[in-house]
Amino acid sequence: MFHKEGYKIILISIILLLIAILTTDKFIEINWLRMAISSVFILFFILILQFFRNPKRNTVQNSEHIISPVDGKVVVIEEVFEPEFYKKKMIQVSIFMSPLNVHVTRYPISGKVVYSKYHPGKYLVAWHPKASTENERTTIVVKNETFGEVLYRQIAGAVAKRIVNYAKVDDTAVQGEDAGFIKFGSRVDLFLPIGTKINVKLEQKVKGGEEIIASM
């Protein structure tokens, strides 16, 4: 299954792949070279399919759990001052996604979307300390009766050039459901209330829609 954000790119890639293979077949007579070049084109196409895959996830919905919004590796767990929405100290948990990870963004908790804002910005590498406040990003806050207001932020990286955010103010967020997509490498930050129990460790690999990041 592929994400709808990839349909157009996949179709274009199929057309370009066919053209490339036919052109290679026509103009390159050396058999091993022709096969090698065609293999490179096919490999590139497989990488594109890999990037836009959208596997089904078995989310166990629980109002006392914050689940991972994305696949990736935990690169930050620390108390920081969050300047945009809370304007106070929060626990930040950041998850870095490589181009090989699933890039679907899922709602980390159920509730009501109370804030959703896009910010244009730079394209620093996603693990840069200033990426959270200086890169192109979207900030979404879901209000939940158990946790209160939970913020997650989609951040573009050096390669990612487009953030897709489906969350609109007053929408009903359902834990684990599709909330957006980030194309080609990026990161997502979660900001949680001080005192929240963090269930993951630095460098841990997590699965979006299933891994429990934090709990009350």
Active site amino acids: 186
With b for 16 or more beta-carbon neighbours within 10 A and e for fewer, the 52-85 pattern comes to: bebeebebeeeeebbbbbbbbbbbbbeeeebebb
Instruction: Pick the closest to residue 159 from 103, 94, 118, 119 (CA basis).
Output: 103
Q: Are 54 and 196 in contact (CB under 8 A)?
A: no
Which residues are 153's β-sheet partners?
Answer: 139, 189
Maximum C-alpha span of the chain: 68
Q: In the block, which residue shows the tokens 């490589």?
A: 98
- Helical spans, DSSP H, in the chain: 7-27, 31-51, 131-134
